[in-house]
Structure 1
Amino acid sequence: MWLVLCDPEDQAARWVGTGLRECGLNPVELVDSEMLTHSVRSAHRIEGDRASFETTLSDGRTLASDDVDGVLNRLTHAPVGHLLFASAVDTCYAMTEMSALVLSWVQCLAPVMVNPPSPRGLSGASRSPAEWSVLAARAGLPVAPLRLSGESPAAARGAVRTVVVLGEHVFGGEAVGDLAPACRRLARSAGADLLGVELEPDDRHGARFAGATLLPDLRIAGPALVACLSAYLTLLPARPW
């Protein structure tokens, strides 16, 4: 089984899921975060250094970690708004426990996952613009001035272009020429298999770093990315159990 994990409104994930099926991966199951937190039955087992889960979704599908061959992970959060109790303390406790449970579920799949979870985010470490700028500069990208107050950065920018990095491939990289290797280095330093790198025009370098996202709109890279992602998923190493 191949999984696409995403938020309910993530249309790019649905597009990718369809494309992966057309590339021959079967079955491809799309599961959104609300399905996970509204499951009707769940079992989560931790035995020594091995963890697994099995959950029955509200639509009747059964999702078992041992049946998963590869995952594209685009989750941002675990929806917990339905967990309302008489006591605010009980509600807060239930929400915290559900979020931790979803993180643990996703971590079970990390060895066969594109963009595994982190303590700072379900699909990788969430970073501030300043943190991304530091990583980008270290990777060798020219970096746009970062405004922490005053004029909105969007108002000062030119046209921003997003290139998508998947492993050693850079989609849209032909437009940024010599910066493609630096985009790959940025993704590696961020621990991201898949990363969107935002670049804006620059008179000196042609383009410079303006931002990064773990959730790029994959549709901008077209069918070539889907074919590459299909191959990437099938080459992920098997889990150690």
Structure 2
Amino acid sequence: MWLILCDPTDPVGNWARQGLRDRGLTPVELVTPDDLLYSTQLDHRVERSVAGFRVRLADGRTFADSDITGALNRVVRAPIAPLALASEADTLYAKSELSALMLSLLMCIAPVAVNQPSARGFCGAWRSAAEWTLLAARAGLPVRPRSLSSHAGSEPPGPAATHTLVVFRESVFGGEDVQDLIPACVQLANLAGTDLLEIGLYRDSRSVTFTRATPLPDLRLGGDPLLDHLHSHFYGLAVRAS
């Protein structure tokens, strides 16, 4: 089976599931963090050299990590909505425990996941604007100067992107107008350690510069060509597993 893991409000998850099904990939299941952590049965074992899980969801679906041939990982958070009436201290404790469980479950399928989990983010490392700018400069992308502050959340936003593209492994989708920057965009994704990366670029009258990046791309920007590549990648995983 193939798995799409995403938040309940993520429209890209359903779009990707339907696109992969249309290309003959089956079964493709969409599962949310709420489905996993509030399942009717969850058996998660962590041993010295191996970890795994088996889960029965509330809707009756049952599967184990070993059943998953490939997964598209778009998980952003561990669900905490049922804790709304708890104290702040209890909520923070429960959130940390649920986050640890979510990360551990995702690590069980990391070898076959597109966008592997990280200690800095369930679907890849989240970075500050300054960190992304530094990484983009290392990758060879032209960047604008960034101001740094010791106060959280005080970084001024960069200019709105005029070009948005998606990198999937060694391919770039939506970069037709910035062909000369495509190798650097691929290198940024490699440095970020993520299979899928959305990159925003800003063009003014003089140049094109990097403005933002996220490991949670809107795959619809890549359209059918991106779905074709994703299908080919998952099909390759199935061939290697057989």
TM-score > 0.5, shorter chain as reference: yes
**Structure 1: stretches of 5+ with no match in the other structure:** none
Q: Could you tell me the TM-score, scaled by structure 1's length?
A: 0.90
- C-alpha distance in structure 1 between counterparts of 2:212 and 2:142, whole Å: 11
CA positional deviation for 1:239: 9.7
Q: Could you tell me the TM-score, scaled by structure 2's length?
A: 0.90
Alignment partner of 1:220 is 2:214: no
Question: Aligned-residue CA RMSD in angstroms?
Answer: 2.4
Query: 2:211 — aligned with what?
Result: 210
Q: CA distance change for structure 1 residues 129 and 214 in 2, over 3 Å: closer, same or farther?
A: same
Letter of the structure 2 residue corresponding to residue 20 of structure 1: L
Choose 190-199 or 74-83, whichever is displaced more.
Answer: 74-83
Alignment partner of 1:175 is 2:177: yes
Q: CA distance change for structure 1 residues 59 and 143 in 2, over 3 Å: closer, same or farther?
A: same
CA positional deviation for 1:94: 3.0
- C-alpha distance in structure 1 between counterparts of 2:212 and 2:87, whole Å: 41
- C-alpha distance in structure 1 between counterparts of 2:86 and 2:225, whole Å: 51
Query: 1:201 — aligned with what?
Result: 203
Size of the aligned set, in residue pairs, is 237
Q: Secondary structure at the match of 2:34?
A: helix
Please point out which of 150, 153, 158 is paired with 2:157. 153
**2:161 and 2:211 in contact (8 A); partners too:** no
Q: CA distance change for structure 1 residues 108 and 216 in 2, over 3 Å: closer, same or farther?
A: same
Query: 1:15 — aligned with what?
Result: 15
- C-alpha distance in structure 2 between counterparts of 1:142 and 1:86, whole Å: 47
CA positional deviation for 1:236: 4.1
Alignment partner of 1:111 is 2:115: no
CA positional deviation for 1:127: 0.4
- C-alpha distance in structure 1 between counterparts of 2:239 and 2:191, whole Å: 23
Choose 72-81 or 185-194, whichever is displaced more.
Answer: 72-81
**Structure 2: stretches of 5+ with no match in the other structure:** none
Q: Secondary structure at the match of 1:142?
A: coil
Q: CA distance change for structure 1 residues 21 and 86 in 2, over 3 Å: closer, same or farther?
A: closer
